[in-house]
């Protein structure tokens, strides 16, 4: 979770700016606990278990038609959100795409609010108006959940710029899928982040597919994303997204490098740039960064996907290096956690998921009076600024009760 951030221990750091030649993996010569306390190691495991158990319940509820609309399952990718977000400190903002339940939970959203949102209930994080793709949680600095592919990337720039403008020492994480790589908005955002030297990390959740399209079919130079980052004068790193410790260590180091990004050649007094910035292929330290996380989703693109584009063997091969099993094996091998404690964590995650489902089922639906709130500054629409549009006026209690009959 976001709040407890480990101080960077003597790290088996990836080389400056990362390197595709580094063999990613937990065994980079560092201590097996990577300087993390037993509580923090248990926290990483629990957060991944919670996402998995929560989404198992989500799939069940979807199949029973209790959840409507599109629903994209994150199972398999848990180590990405958990490892990356564990490297943040409280107040560091996150924005992501529509496959967002894992990020929301890792950022500290209550599972009840997350499940109720999918059920369209009043206690959902967005009062049930956003659904699965729009998990938003301002108190935990989770800025959504965005359905337009690549649409979150300019928003990530906005978060980074806001941090810089208000002179806070935060870092923004902007997650995107590989399908977003070729969107115009992504290139615009990467360019701006570099020109302004924003405290922003673009996180490529590279699960190899954009719906049913293999990354290599739709993305030029898919095998070498370093060049994309370097084209914008940005640092580049990559990690094994099925290994939460490798992901954590990579983000810990890059977050540290990015946190102090400041405007380049900017005169505080005149408010002007005094000279034209120069760029290196390795990017600036501190400055924005692009991290390529190699991961994999086990389920289909959404809840309705016959998955004809990949073989069962391919999926089971990836499940063999599952992020949860891998951390469990690592913790046991190095005597960092015993089996009994691990079983307790899983039982706790199962209980939390079961409770979230029970909460969502029992919660009240969003009342009709909320239909036009949080949509426009003028709650009844942009038709006549400052005056409620009578056609959309909230019904009185008697009308609402009649309509429910
Ligand atoms: C601008 C835009 N174009 C097309 C779509 C339809 N669409 C929804 S999801 C998706 C695939 C995106 O894949 P990726 O970014 O790799 O994310 P993943 O599903 O793998 O998490 C597409 C093309 C969309 N939502 N927005
Ligand atoms: Mg993808």
**In this structure, is residue 20 part of a structural domain?**
no
Are residues 291 and 388 located together in one domain of the fold? no
Are residues 227 and 162 located together in one domain of the fold? yes
Whether the per-residue pLDDT at 1 is higher than 80: the answer is: no
For ligand 1, pick from 76, 210, 215 the residue to mutate: most ligand atoms within 8 Å of CB: 210
**In this structure, is residue 211 part of a structural domain?**
yes
Q: 317 — phi, psi (to 5°)?
A: -60, -40
**In this structure, is residue 200 part of a structural domain?**
yes
Are residues 288 and 393 located together in one domain of the fold? no
Whether the per-residue pLDDT at 51 is higher than 80: the answer is: yes
pTM score: 0.88
Lowest mean pLDDT among 84-93, 119-128, 192-201, 388-397: 388-397
Span from the CA of 181 to the centroid of ligand 2 (angstroms)? 10
Q: How many domains does the chain have?
A: 2
Query: Residue 175: nearest ligand to its CA?
Result: 1
Query: Residue 176: nearest ligand to its CA?
Result: 1
Query: Residue 133: nearest ligand to its CA?
Result: 1
CA-CA distance, 262 to 169, in Å (whole number)?
10
Local structure of residue 169 (DSSP, 8 states): -
Are residues 388 and 276 located together in one domain of the fold? no
CA-CA distance, 292 to 284, in Å (whole number)?
17
Does residue 149 line the site of ligand 1, with CB under 6 A? yes
Are residues 360 and 220 located together in one domain of the fold? yes
Nearest to 218 by CA among 289, 149, 279: 149
Are residues 236 and 362 located together in one domain of the fold? yes
CA-CA distance, 252 to 171, in Å (whole number)?
11
Helix (H) or strand (E) holding 236: strand 235-240
Residue range(s) defining the domain that contains residue 386: 378-405
Q: What is the pLDDT of residue 2?
A: 35
Does residue 177 line the site of ligand 1, with CB under 6 A? yes
**In this structure, is residue 195 part of a structural domain?**
yes
DSSP codes of every residue in 268-335: TTTTEE-S-----TT--SSS-EEEEEE---SS-SSSS---TTS-HHHHHHHHTT-HHHHHHHHHHHTT
Span from the CA of 297 to the centroid of ligand 2 (angstroms)? 8
* pLDDT single digits (tens) 322-375: 999 999 999 999 999 999 999 999 999 999 999 999 999 999 999 888 877 887
Are residues 166 and 46 located together in one domain of the fold? yes
Are residues 355 and 399 located together in one domain of the fold? no
Are residues 218 and 355 located together in one domain of the fold? yes
Note whether 337 and 38 are within 8 A (CB). yes
**In this structure, is residue 32 part of a structural domain?**
no
**In this structure, is residue 3 part of a structural domain?**
no
CA-CA distance, 332 to 323, in Å (whole number)?
14
Lowest mean pLDDT among 213-222, 254-263, 340-349, 395-404: 395-404
**What average pLDDT does the segment 180-207 reach?**
97
Nearest to 238 by CA among 289, 292, 283, 201: 292
Strand spans (E) along 89-171: 94-95
Chain centroid to CA 89: how far? 15
Are residues 357 and 405 located together in one domain of the fold? no
> Confidence band (pLDDT; 50, 70, 90) for 386?
low
Does residue 401 line the site of ligand 1, with CB under 6 A? no
Q: 192 — phi, psi (to 5°)?
A: -65, -40
Note whether 132 and 72 are within 8 A (CB). yes
Are residues 147 and 280 located together in one domain of the fold? yes
């Amino acid at each position: 979770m976001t709040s407890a951030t480990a101080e960077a221990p003597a790290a088996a750091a990836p080389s400056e700016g990362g390197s595709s030649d580094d063999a990613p993996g937990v065994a980079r010569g560092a201590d097996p606990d990577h300087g993390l306390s037993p509580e923090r190691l248990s926290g990483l495991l629990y957060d991944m278990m919670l996402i998995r158990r929560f989404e198992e319940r989500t799939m069940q509820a979807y199949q029973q038609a209790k959840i409507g609309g599109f629903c994209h399952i994150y199972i398999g990718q848990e180590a990405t959100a958990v490892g990356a977000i564990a490297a943040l400190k409280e107040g560091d903002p996150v924005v992501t795409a529509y496959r967002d339940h894992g990020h929301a939970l890792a950022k500290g959203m209550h599972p009840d609010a997350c499940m109720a949102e999918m059920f369209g209930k009043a206690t959902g994080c967005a009062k049930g108006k956003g659904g699965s793709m729009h998990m938003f949680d301002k108190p935990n600095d989770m800025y959504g959940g965005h359905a337009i592919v690549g649409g979150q990337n300019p928003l990530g720039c906005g978060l980074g710029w806001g941090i810089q403008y208000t002179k806070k020492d935060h870092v923004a994480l902007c997650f995107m899928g590989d399908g977003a790589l070729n969107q115009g908005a992504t290139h615009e955002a990467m360019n701006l982040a570099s020109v302004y030297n924003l405290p922003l990390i673009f996180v490529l959740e590279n699960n190899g597919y954009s719906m049913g399209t293999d990354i290599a079919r739709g993305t030029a130079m898919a095998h070498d994303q370093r060049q994309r980052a370097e084209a914008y004068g940005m640092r580049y790193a990559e990690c094994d997204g099925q290994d939460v410790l490798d992901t954590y260590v990579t983000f810990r180091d890059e977050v540290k490098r990015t946190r102090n990004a400041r405007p380049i050649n900017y005169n505080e007094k005149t408010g002007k740039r005094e000279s034209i910035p120069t760029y290196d292929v390795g990017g600036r330290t501190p400055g924005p960064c692009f991290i390529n996380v190699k991961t994999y989703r086990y389920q289909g693109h959404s809840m309705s996907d016959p998955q004809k584009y990949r073989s069962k063997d391919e999926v089971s091969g990836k499940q063999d290096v599952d992020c949860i099993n891998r951390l469990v094996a690592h913790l046991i091998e190095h005597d960092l956690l015993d089996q009994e404690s691990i079983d307790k964590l899983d039982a706790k995650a199962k209980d939390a998921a079961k409770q979230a489902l029970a909460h969502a089922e029992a919660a009240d639906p969003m009342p009709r009076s909320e239909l036009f709130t949080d949509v426009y500054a003028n709650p009844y629409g942009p038709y006549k600024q400052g005056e409620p549009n009578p056609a959309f006026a909230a019904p009185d209690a008697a009308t609402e009760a009649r309509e429910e009959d």
